[in-house]
Structure 1
Amino acid sequence: MPKKFYIETYGCQMNVADSEVVASVLSDAGYLPAGTIGEADLILVNTCSIRENAEQRIWGRLDLFRSEKKKRPQVIVGVLGCMAERLKEKLLESDKMVDMVVGPDAYRDLPMLVESAVSGHAAVNVLLSREETYADISPVRLESNGVSAFISIMRGCNNMCSYCVVPYVRGAERSRDPETIVREAREVFEKGFREVTLLGQNVNSYSWNGAGQENEPPSAAIMSGTARPDSGQHRSDLINEKVLLPDMSLLTGKQETINFASLLEMVASIDPRLRVRYSTSHPKDLSDDVLEVMAKHSNICKHIHLPVQSGSSSVLKRMNRKYTREWYLGRIDAINRILPGCAISTDIIAGFCGETEEEHRETLSLMR
């Protein structure tokens, strides 16, 4: 009788897309999805470490999984994703009865890790990869509405914002082969989906040169794991200026580079009935080329999520955001000029470390 898996997902859209990759890997290994925890032989929770509230909810869910495991000791419980990467030792040493700890770049190994856990051995893989994009895996659309689909176009992040753990738990930025992205978008359209969202930590730095990805990895300290978020070392000191500003040139040697504007146009050209969205943009990398492609294609949704984080240039510098208040407002002006009526949403951090009343008022004035 085929074994069944149950997966819960917390956090961002990238985690939803990752859970669909996990479902595909397990389906290929002969597993079937379970409707409830009680039906499952394998219980997985795909985790988020960006917000403390998400981590607290996950610890609470692990209490429930522990109760299920007490009733059925043969059940395997696994923690996946960012929290697994960040808290692997704590998860294994806790009394939550976690059998597997699997980082976001190790999902191909899940069947082998499950077998290891079943046999009573350690089942841990939190190694971060310089190449993994899961480009060849066709996601299983979990709890799909049959209309909208997420498509991951890249993984990791090279922007070492001083408040963010993403580069540590998702590794270096790497872009996915554009042919596989377009093929996946075409396949979901042919299956009846009418909207795709292109996902990345910073989609505007997507870059593929025909022979491979162009995104540069962060410093050796990041890749080796010798620098951690709790090490006391300021993240802005861990990476040089060259890495923070990805090469967005159109030509690399004799190979033509596919940047995000080119990729966006390729996906939008599949069929005018396919609505295209993307998330998330970084203000320092949002180019006029992207805006012009959006203006050209009516099926690209006229909405840009552009996190400002603060309206104060001094706070932005402490955040290591690599742009100023003036730069951000310049990008807003470009959006309004090229895409009149485009919806703009943002993220703001209030009360960032050392923020003064005057700096906070600068953020309020930007919002107005």
Structure 2
Amino acid sequence: MKYHILTFGCQMNVADSGWLDRSLTSMGYEKTPDEDQADFFIVNTCSVREKPEQKVYSLLGRLKEFQEKKPWVFACVGGCVAQQVGNFFFQRFPFVRLVFGTDGLAMVPAALQRLEKDEHLKISLLDFQDLYPERTNHWPDKLGPQAFVNIMQGCDNFCAYCIVPYTRGRQKSRSSAEILRECRELVDRGVKEITLLGQNVNSYGQDKDGQEISFARLLREVDRINDLKRLRFTTSHPKDMSPEVIKVFGELETLCPQLHLPLQSGSDDILKSMGRKYTSSKYLDLVEALRSVCPDLALTTDLIVGFPGETDTDFQQTLNVMNKVGFDSCFSFKYSDRPGVRSSLMQPKVSEQEKTLRLDILQQLQEEWTRKRLESRVGRKDLVLIEAPSKMQKAGTRSWKGRDLGGRVVNVGLDSSDDLTGKILEVAVIRAKKHSLEGEVIR
């Protein structure tokens, strides 16, 4: 049978889809890039915001058309929307035969074998587990230069606007021994850069009652792996950014000078309503401490505009903090009610028109900061890990896309017929574009 996977949302979903892909291939299923060739679809979903959720419904409506030509075609829906909506998918989309939540992922391959044997069967895998559900990896002998490693699942913070604790469950830290084993396996297969993933990596191990190492210690252990060149992590909650984690940015050889640190709002009143448990001044103190140990740190963030009760003054305070920090980039969104979260009951709501206006102002300001930060790289030298050929090729040379230590995209022109994927090149930055850099290899 042939399958096609469609993935929405965060890097954790990307990593989960990658695991499913390898597992199904090892069982004899055949991956196809063409939807019209697929016998079944796997849709890995995100419900952090309303728009991705609506995209899932629209997508399933479109995929249903393939069943008209091939009656045996069916769909599987996983991830956060599946955990949230559950068995309702069976009613709304009868060709959906498997619904699985984030903790049910490991059981999907076996469930598919059952579905294959019984064409009338429907299965739901929606129960949360008390421990992190370990999975058998099916690594090929050779891997690409970059990989994601999950270190935890779920979240205990219950921010007022966030649906994650309800769709991914309470925090479950993975065994450090298993994390380190996986990281070593990846490096042995050619991986040079590892990104550790979790809803709040800074709180890693805190659910283990002292039976697990701290996140700072975990970073030190991963850093010691032979032949690992780069280490990153995401996402961090400011309230749990410890002095020990800040310290390692100035000490670990592999840890890249890059951090995604969600601010969400620059207003203390809004931060309190959100349940974020830090103030804007605390956030700025963290930035100062981080930059004191790692002056070249590239900082990115998340921002929400139009949270219930947000005034013009609150919004201006967000812009003020943006100007004080000077983020390299940010993911910014209009607030939307998510079912079951506390903020859905909060008043007053900000009008859609006002949210749109504020988002436009915020994004224009961030564009200016992104431009300044990129232009400040011109004339500097950096190490660039090549990911793939650039989508835009220039006449007379071959262009490659890579990332510098700060995670910025760098396009490099090089006259070579060799495959440079996975190579780390010393590059001089010669030009700043709107969202990327151009560089020349230093010979």
The structure number with the bigger radius of gyration is 2
- Give CA-to-partner distance per residue, 1:113-168, whole Å, 9 cap, x none: 3244442122111111121332x421658xx9811111111111111000000000
Q: Return the alpha-carbon distance in structure 1 between the equivalents of residues 298 and 202 of structure 2.
A: 18
Q: Return the alpha-carbon distance in structure 2 between the equivalents of residues 138 and 22 of structure 1.
A: 9
4+ residue segments displaced more than 3 Å: 27-30, 115-118
Q: Return the alpha-carbon distance in structure 2 between the equivalents of residues 322 and 329 of structure 1.
A: 14
The percent of aligned pairs where both chains have the same amino acid is 39
1:310 to 247, 259, 265: 265
Number of the residue aligned with 2:433: none
> Residues 187-198 of structure 1: matches in 2 within 5 Å?
187-198=185-196
> Residues 1-368 of structure 1: matches in 2 within 5 Å?
3-95=1-93, 97-118=95-116, 119=118, 120-134=120-134, 136-138=135-137, 146-207=144-205, 214-215=206-207, 252=210, 257-271=212-226, 273-368=228-323
AA aligned to 2:128 is L
AA aligned to 2:133 is T
AA aligned to 1:215 is D
Change (3 A) 1:139 1:324: farther
Task: Output the TM-score relative to the length of structure 2.
Answer: 0.68
Unaligned runs of 5+ in 1: 208-213, 217-246
Change (3 A) 1:272 1:334: farther
Q: Could you say what secondary structure the match of 2:249 adopts?
A: helix
Question: Does the 8 Å CA contact 1:133/1:155 hold for their aligned counterparts?
Answer: no
Question: Does the 8 Å CA contact 2:2/2:38 hold for their aligned counterparts?
Answer: yes
Deviates more, 1:352-361 or 1:118-127: 118-127
Q: Return the alpha-carbon distance in structure 1 between the equivalents of residues 242 and 259 of structure 2.
A: 12
AA aligned to 2:256 is C
Q: Return the alpha-carbon distance in structure 1 between the equivalents of residues 265 and 226 of structure 2.
A: 38
Higher relative contact order, structure no. (Cα contacts within 8 Å, ≥ 6 residues apart): 1
Task: Output the TM-score relative to the length of structure 1.
Answer: 0.82
Q: Could you say what secondary structure the match of 2:269 adopts?
A: helix
AA aligned to 2:255 is I
1:343 Cα deviation after fit: 1.1
Q: Return the alpha-carbon distance in structure 1 between the equivalents of residues 202 and 259 of structure 2.
A: 11
- Give CA-to-partner distance per residue, 1:221-275, whole Å, 9 cap, x none: xxxxxxxxxxxxxxxxxxxxxxxxxx7xxxx4xx5x4111011111111136520
Unaligned runs of 5+ in 2: 324-443
1:96 Cα deviation after fit: 5.8
Q: Return the alpha-carbon distance in structure 1 between the equivalents of residues 68 and 150 of structure 2.
A: 37
Change (3 A) 1:94 1:191: same
- Give CA-to-partner distance per residue, 1:274-310, whole Å, 9 cap, x none: 2001000000001121122221123211011100111
Deviates more, 1:44-53 or 1:103-112: 103-112
AA aligned to 1:306 is L
Number of equivalenced pairs: 320
